[in-house]
Structure 1
Amino acid sequence: MKKALLRGRRLSKVFAQGQVKNKVLDRVDVDIYKKDFTIIMGSSGAGKSTLLYALSRMDTVTEGTVTYKDKELTRMKEKQMAKLRAEEFGFVFQQTHLVSSLTLFENVAVAGFLSKKGSSGEIQKRARTLLTRMGVEKAEDRLPAQVSGGEAQRAAIARAMIGNPGLLFADEPTGALNRSHSEEVLDLLTGLNQSGQSILMVTHDLRAAVRGNRILYLEDGKILDELELPAYKGAEDRHRESRVSQWLSELQW
């Protein structure tokens, strides 16, 4: 039986505007398992990104608890939480958020220094190794504005991985990319997962969703259903995409 790496219990998030209250998360219970590639899907406004940010403690909840490796994150002060995020979590967003004045190598290395895992030399070596693994080693001395969107996103994944995170959070990582660059990024994330990296990803894209082995479907701030899948074997598995598509159709996605 799989043990939960990250656990959310009774997670609620309410936004209030005057007398109007909007419940974006409604007492969600969810477990995220080690080495899984977990996908969060749902219609626009269902609470997908809000759930990801709540679980990573990038945002607070109105009610509920989040536990990571048996540590209750909702009890931690922000300074403690910032330290844990730097040491244990990696983040990839739709926009890369690379520092425009730093080269790709410097963006990755700086994140490594913040994680405080290893000496300066070890971190620089790991940064170059990751950039090579992501296929952007030839662009390591370029600024973000001097590379393509796909190259920038691959560098952002290297930055997210520099601290050897226990869990990688990805929020629509292919949302701003064209099809070919999207496939490159998805291949990298799939490869990381197949090497043992735990990933939690929000997406609205069917082609991205089929990479996961578990898909959670949100509606009106609640997990309506979930789908378990075998490990991704490659684009030639058309049955996989059809199965996910049919499941989503039944949920009226």
Structure 2
Amino acid sequence: MKVSDHNSRLRLEVEHCPMRPGCPLAFMCGVALNDGKPLLPVISDVGYGEMIWTDLNTRHRVCVVRSGLLLSRVYASRDGEIPHSIFGMGFVGGIPDIYIPYVASDFYFFSGLVAGQLCSFDGGFAKERIDALGTPQAQLLIARIGLNHTTSIYSQTLTFAHRRVRDKVVSVLLRVEGELSRQPGFGGELPIAHDDVAFLACIERATASRELKRLAQEGLIDLGYRRIRVLPTLRQTFGDMIEANLPFYDNDLSVLQ
């Protein structure tokens, strides 16, 4: 395919993207630059477990989740890793890096938790477009992105804070369901494995499996191979958990477009 044909197809896809109402960066997607060419994202598929962003990147890029789920992991002592947050559709990564220079620390990275797609922009172009919004629009945009990140981190902290294994496992399921429920076509099935639940809950894999089987026996979930279906009874029983009802701040097109 010719480059011109590829760009034309990408521009058409950008203009009619169904994710625009929930994308904080929709205001700059497809906008004309100084040379008249449109600012188009790189749209890439993200597979399960694939590392797609790290703070060691030499050329900063800003990315937004188009579909699926990303898992932010951070390094702990003795070469361990712990879950930092889950990013679903509309979450933006890489904004602080384009404003605050720092020595690469190899501190955290993003990987695929549920396969999907990612849009990414060159950090320089992204900063230019955000700055061009002026005040207070740029502040509103960055604050919205920051609130979503803070909410996601808080949600992971709530999972850690539960004392009972059951509550930790249910917390993970409700959080993943909450993120995926904002995506078109979601039917209640979580494409995650027992290993994923164990990592997010910071418990042993065998412990997670035992608890998942108990939940299935009680009619709260259905289990399959790398599939967990959340049944209405689970939310009816545990829907009062704070992490089951945390807000996500969508894009306000009337302000940013």
Q: Larger RCO: Structure 1 or Structure 2 (Cα < 8 Å, ≥ 6 residues apart)?
A: 1
Is the strand fraction higher in 1 or 2? 1
TM-score, normalising length from structure 2?
0.27
TM-score, normalising length from structure 1?
0.27
